[in-house]
Structure 1
């Protein structure tokens, strides 16, 4: 007992009991009830509110521009806004809140963690009152509320351009334990493109969009803060939350519903409404044109959805019925799209010269965003890009100033406009792709004819080649240009018939019938063959993408990085060393194809053509084979000279003597864990400075003559060979060289294994031997290019046609014309007396009119399908037809096979009277459509019609279905 009047503490601070930091769980029902209370309060407040939009609507909202709308149209839009006045907000009290019954509140899912308690911001007396007013306004508008949460996050405010304060939550600790939502936003380029070439636009912007998305009551304690008015927690989605963008985009897509994507494509809290592409000025009522009337109906449809979902648009910020608008930095109008002048003006005022690599990268990054508007961007920007390459200089020369000014002038020009693509003109207005490959870059342009028949560019594309790709042959560069442009424009061209315009004749021949000699080019052409194109030859002077062949390559345009492993070229009977090797910081086109659209591959070794990206080692291999021992020795000497430049040495004093023993390791000859092991053995690295694997494996290796060898029981130590080019040299010498004899992969491997070591040696040797041209020419095995798979999106996507010859019936019928769906196997057929073009065309038309969802026909290369009557009929129906190649009849195999089945079925049904076979054709077709297919396991008629089919027997013997 503590005596009265004692000054002793009740208990020491260290012995005080501390409360537990744990979140009190709330049930789902309780959370929904809390949200319903807020919605009821907001609805009650809205019920007592009058008209939000006065008659002088022009003073509070942006409707049209002078000279674009008639007086009647402006009045009509104003009345529509007043009709839906509850969907517009002009202050925080009028702000809506997404109905939780229609779209669930935002959740925050976290991993296991401990609560945190961070201090809030402190503000001086002068601004504290304004901050208090801001926080109390957030409480009054149900954005925040007092709480007793165990969490506390940092927060701050800043002034917006309109001088008001914005409240920001610093949620870095919460984001670090939050489970990521991988939802993404639409691609800005494609989104802006879909809004180009419209007759009228509207932008409906949410009023404080995040504040209208409720946060689930179970997760609100995570976002609590110590503030000047006490501890508060957010009741809506906070701006600093890592998943806020994905959650907002998902909910706005739900609000847009079936208006997406034809009428409205939301981007976070922005909701642009698209007008019609054709400006129909027919008056639907006095003074009101049809294109304005139709657009107003779309606006009212969107506002009605806002009313249902209980959200509001910003009255002052929304733009209604404008002839052109800015969409994500692109100015869109009836003319197409162009860069926003507000953005490009900053580029035109960019100060030059560029003095540092940071300034150069910043300039290229900003200008590169608009590269689709600049023809030959890679060529123009090459002098500036050379500044940041290894070996480049920062001297600001005249050509660099000219390049920067050219880019500024192009983007500042009013002529920088791209057309909008039309995806419904496959027959009359197909896409046109023109490509060109030059010494410095590859370039392409996507074109489409306008309604007036004039060809207009949709997008330009260009890409700088790295030093390895610049050494490709012109043929490979041209194929590489096609490959890169197809990858870039894949969203426009895949599954659509388009025109491919190229210049070189040898490329045209390769795309039509390529013999698999070079596996690298074969791989590229295999990707190209997945597209459906028609080749047109075009002279270089008429090619919009041409021009690189006339570019002068300057020293600044080529990377001068030091070679890792020099290779030899044969010039006038003399072996010389070429010092150009791949820049380790360059992204290759092939790497983009393999890894994705934005992938950086750091290249450390020159790779040969049979391996993948680079094709510059063939001449070196030929020198070793043709030159014999002298060439091999010259190669060894060249290696030795190069290796001596990359020695790592360490002087060690021997114990008990004054002499120094100098140890060397050829570090540049090795990579990865082998490099670490060598540095460990030479003493240049300590065990804790290398990877665990290097520490474990170091005892298995030894240094000899400055090289690394692997020790193995029962074998002499084997030299470790790193780098694909060196490994290929070893394989080439053992397979093609003096001791090679072009033996099998097993024989070649048996020569290499006792002497050399590198990981995955056996597979590499097997691949080399299998791709040896001489071995393939002498091999009895013939390799044919495999057929490409057909991609089918649904029933009716591809329908095969065939005409079969039958015995003459008593009625004079001689042929069966049949059609078979590629996916479902559904068949229709008709008996014909003659196989004229008109008869075939009429039946194909009848088939399509009964099944209008058919997207494309495929037929063999016979006169009955390629005659003008059939082609004109399909052109009238706007249905394309694909004619198979004569040397690939198996492309039409689905219908060829069913024709044989129909013949056999008819022969069985009409066994007693084969002359009357047409009477049994319908029965044979019916049986075919009712028989499940092996490929799908389903009945063709069920897949074709999308409903369950009953067999005739079920009428007599009922089943569970009947």
Structure 2
């Protein structure tokens, strides 16, 4: 918008008659008046339009209007200035100079005026900008201040900097400082009107009685006026200084109050040399040639001729930049960086403009500005700009159905709010919206000693502590609280720094912050088309810990005690604090623009343009709160996303297929054991299935004793019917967040299983199923570690339902009930315990017969081949339940070549080898990650052949057999072969060697000998009828002690903690006849020490025994008894 003075000047120009028809004198007077008015108009126009153009350069419509007016005004002013600057000679004869009084020239051309004019005119614009900046803050206490007298002190115990102002009649304090001081009552009756130095009235709140401490000694209580938007935290006026006989010594920088000298502080201009340097001024020229595209705004780099490294100052553009190049520059407060200054240039024309190197852009003068008025434009960093460019480009990679204009606007939006994008692990925001409190009530401080760290990990701990200290994540502590640390090794070989807060969480009062209802959240998302999910970058580290509770987060290390400045992971109330923070930051946008559930943010809309506007609203709130997002986990402008265990799209909200995948992909049973597992799961929820007995009757018939395995179409129909009923209501229900959740977990030697459910009206309704097989390494875990792995994995799968809520975990492994009492965990267990520490749950035990829902899922079939994986060990219970395995079988199963080929193709390893052999494309080496079966077959690739589509193995002739071919048996047929050739009529329950010899005559598969040995060892008939080798042992004879002390027993207990007398072990002696015991402390367990103690303490008192027996004193044979 044009200023009023500019409009008046344009109207004057418009009303000027044609100069060719006017007398010279009339033209001179009119032109002089018009020139003066235009000069004033241009100054005001530069101040208003430059900033307006710089801010609104993104709006093409505003540029058109502004440039139209600017070109018209510029053309008229240039023509008029040219005519006035070079008047005709006949006009100069009557001219008179107002400076020297001589004729023949005007004041602007006077030599005397030019000689007396200073080389650098006073920087009026600098003072004007300071005044304007201060006005935006609401109060101007001093303008163009070169030296500020400040005092460091405290108000009600809170550190504050006081400005000593002898020109102020009253003492004033900022309202925010009073609020943060706490326990201060503001009196509303004592408020009065105050006029600031700029003539404006301050908005006062009232008065407050405050305790003021200056330095280490001076204490006073004074009534101060509380005002809003004060440019300085606290101002001491004459009402405070006069009663205390203030004496200010500016030469030494001291002030005397009530006879006490205090040092004045001025952080900006410490000496006269810096004062003179602060008043320097230099020209700013273009560092390198640049081309400004049409209708664009660009920040370029200018260079100065002064030797400044880092100086705050004011840049003022050169007027010729507009007249000569049609380029406008913005007045700005900025900071030099190695002699360079950022300058904002605007090309508002329709054509590109090139500015060459060393073009003068303006002048730069160092200035002093108070903290409230400092607003610098820092020079762009090439490295950070390149990093932001890569991150923004990755975030802006959208699907093809997003309009091109939306993509371009999204990039612009991301660049505008680039400050909310985290560039690395430690580049996290810090919010002041809330702080985390650790409420332990009256609990005594918990002090745990540091745990021993291996020597090779100490340098890693030192480095991680240094990094976190440098990034202001932690700080040294001297409080009474202490928790141990644990280093957990990641998959890439690096370490994760963890703190064990289990004991701290036990004495922490739980936060009852309510969480949004998931069903209401999902209903709100219905009908939307576009979705964007945002993830916070190290969300917990963006929240600071309350000052009074920082010491409770302390942890002990070999290098000292440290405490967290930000909210650490592992605290029980951390989820509630983060939920409260997000609801506070996004207040007003929740339920309409976005949905927030803990650290999950989803923005939704029906239109792409509307979605962009909503994203900007969310970005603006996050930036205002100082929060940052992790770009790699943010997905923008999606039409289908996973949110809170559901799939959300334009078609509505649907259950996540992963919830029922474990049951839907359950393969048809291939043996009685697999059928027993499925029936165990189905029977657990049979009360939800109407007519369960009739539906499952064909399956139960197969489990009868003595029944041959025959999977018919009727069985398959019943199996599919039960699967469908298990994955639909009423078995599978929607979660009710008013009712606690139940998590059932189980682990077997093959896999993991879990069920999430709720007890609704006395019946357990399933929310979700989950299962997976164990890796080769996980199969080697002990039973307790496998069960713990199942618990950690299950909570991770159901995290969206369980996070931030109390729930119950049920397991058939009793050791997990003592999970929270695990002492000094290390490595993997420590990492698991840290993950479990985020949840609030109780572990209860129930027997395996009541735990069949999770047990069946943990013993599912292999995902690769779809078949059952034999367990590494079988208990007596499993043998009794799976007796179908050893049922009578036919003499020999009749397999056709087509059946053999089909079964081999079902086996992924054999099918792969068969394809390679048939096409003669066998690889030279085994592919990475191949199974053991595939590796074993590839080592014998020269012995493999394919005949009629069936893979065979050539067996070389030797002394025991001739050359022949063996069938490579797939996984599904191995059980039948073992059944026939060991338990069938052809087998006769022979031993391991004979059974193996018979099978090798016609069949082969990797690990054949191990499978045969395992089968024979677990055969019920062999165990019942074969007694095995009998070892004849002699009869036991009683050991007779005829009288007391004739036969004694000796043993040693220890080691114990060394006593003051140096003893560490206890030597015990007992008589076999009377059972009389005695014990003696000894320093060591050497033969001489034991013999000396026995002789001096026992034999000298009771006499020598006939015999002495011991089973643990290894040095007894070396005792010199003779």
What TM-score results when the alignment is normalised by the length of structure 1?
0.33
Structure with greater contact order relative to length (CA < 8 Å, sep ≥ 6) = 1
What TM-score results when the alignment is normalised by the length of structure 2?
0.28
Please state which structure has a larger fraction of its residues in strand: 2
